[in-house]
Amino acid sequence: MKYITNSVKVFHRKGREMGDKLSLKLDERTVHGKKVAGLRKEGLVPAVVYGPGIDPISVQVEDRVFTKIYRQAGTHAPVHLTIGTSKKIAMIKDIDRDPIKGSVRHVSFHAVNAKDPVTAEVPIRLVGEGESEAEKGGLIVLQNLDKIEVKALPMDLPEAIEVSIAGLKEAGERVTLGDATLPEGVEFVEHDSGHGDEDEEDKTHIADLMVASVWEPAALQAANESAAGDAEDETEVESENGSEEVAAEDEKAESK
Global pTM? 0.71
* pLDDT(159) > 70: yes
C-alpha gyration radius of the chain:
24
Integer CA distances (angstroms), 10 to 158, 170, 181, 253, in order? 18, 21, 18, 53
pLDDT in tens, 228-241: 766 565 555 555 55
* pLDDT(210) > 60: yes
CATH topology of domain 118-191+204-219: RNA Polymerase Alpha Subunit; Chain A, domain 2 (2.170.120)
pLDDT in tens, 27-70: 999 999 999 999 999 999 999 999 999 999 999 999 999 999 99
Report residue 135's pLDDT band, with 50, 70 and 90 as the boundaries: very high
CATH topology of domain 23-112: Ribosomal Protein L25; Chain P (2.40.240)
What b/e string do you get for 135-162 counting C-beta neighbours within 10 Å, with b at 16 or more?
beeebbbbbbbbebbbbbbbbbbbbbbb
Average pLDDT on 160-167 reads: 95
Are 23-112 and 118-191+204-219 equal in CATH topology? no
3-class SS at 86?
Answer: strand
Please tell me the predicted confidence (pLDDT) of residue 89. Answer: 96
In the chain, what are the domain boundaries?
A: 23-112, 118-191+204-219
Report residue 245's pLDDT band, with 50, 70 and 90 as the boundaries: low
In this structure, the number of other CB atoms found within 10 A of the CB of residue 67 comes to 13
CA-to-CA distance for 144 and 160, rounded, in angstroms?
Answer: 16
* Sign of the alpha-carbon torsion through 12, 13, 18, 21: negative
